[in-house]
Amino acid sequence: GQQVMQIPQYQHVQEGEDFTTYCNSSTTLSNIQWYKQRPGGHPVFLIQLVKSGEVKKQKRLTFQFGEAKKNSSLHITATQTTDVGTYFCAGPGETSGSRLTFGEGTQLTVNP
Amino acid sequence: DSGVTQTPKHLITATGQRVTLRCSPRSGDLSVYWYQQSLDQGLQFLIQYYNGEERAKGNILERFSAQQFPDLHSELNLSSLELGDSALYFCASSVLAGGFVDEQFFGPGTRLTVL
């Protein structure tokens, strides 16, 4: 079945350093979503990418969707302690367009 | 606050027991999704309902069942509980279904502990 993989699983950075998490799907995706889950919290929607090669920015966060629509990345510039959490990518399921298959997530810790 | 409510927040029970988790979606959302998140794990999709009907099924055990009621709230029933069922159970809701993937709004979760 469809697999959505994320690397790295964990990332520790010093405050001010950049951070990138990568997401790869075993199948072509019609779109991809990113979510953030703070420690002890619930996942919160960040963004959805739809077009091949699409790049979207939200302040210090840059999201990219690959040309083949099988991979995506999230880059955070100059991390802050408020960026701590787990970042998940998610793509539509193969058999049901409205369900999501989530990656395992990248857990980011930021040392002040 | 996502607008999705889940009760109870915490649940502690014993092996072999049965529990019911409740979710109320955001006003206007017709789809409800249930996910299981074990410690430091990702989100495992269990099941989706749309406007009262089952829409998609994921890795949901036969001991688990769910339903969505006419007022659109949903319940997840877990029976014959095992230690391995201890996890966070999230409910999420979205506006649409049927091939269109829209953002999902997650509730605060129910933490289930099976002793």
Checking if the pLDDT of A99 tops 90, the result is: no
| Chain A CB contacts of B104 below 8 Å | 33, 43, 45, 100
Number of Cβ within 10 Å of residue B87's Cβ equals 20
Q: What is the mean pLDDT of chain B?
A: 93
Question: In whole angstroms, what is the distance from residue A16 CA to residue B85 CA?
Answer: 39
Checking if the pLDDT of B69 tops 90, the result is: yes
Residue type (1 letter), A107: Q
Query: Length of chain A in residues, anyone?
Result: 112
Mean local confidence (pLDDT), A56-69: 97
* Beta carbons of B56 and A48 less than 8 Å apart: no
* Beta carbons of A107 and B40 less than 8 Å apart: yes
* Beta carbons of B2 and A42 less than 8 Å apart: yes
Residues B2-53: tens digit of each pLDDT: 899 999 999 999 999 999 999 999 998 999 999 999 986 789 999 999 999 9
Residues whose CB is less than 8 angstroms from the CB of residue B26 and which lie 6 or more positions away in sequence, other chains included: B2, B3, B4, B93, B105
Question: In whole angstroms, what is the distance from residue B48 CA to residue B59 CA?
Answer: 11
What b-and-e string marks burial along B96-110, b requiring 16 or more CB atoms within 10 Å of the CB? ebeeebbbbbbbbbb
Query: How far are the Cα atoms of B8, B60, B76, B82, B110 from residue B14, in angstroms, in the given order?
Result: 16, 20, 17, 8, 16
Number of Cβ within 10 Å of residue B60's Cβ equals 16
Question: In whole angstroms, what is the distance from residue A93 CA to residue A111 CA?
Answer: 36
Which range among A77-81, B64-68, B92-96 shows the weakest confidence by mean pLDDT? B92-96
pLDDT at res. B99:
56
pLDDT at res. B79:
97
Longest Cα separation, chain A: 44
Question: In whole angstroms, what is the distance from residue B15 CA to residue B86 CA?
Answer: 10
Preceding peptide of B25 cis, ω within 30°: no
Contact A98, B55 (CB under 8 A): yes
Query: How far are the Cα atoms of A32, A33, A72, A109, B46 from residue A4, in angstroms, in the given order?
Result: 10, 12, 10, 22, 16
- The whole-angstrom distance between A6's CA and the closest CA on chain B is 10
Question: In whole angstroms, what is the distance from residue B89 CA to residue B111 CA?
Answer: 6
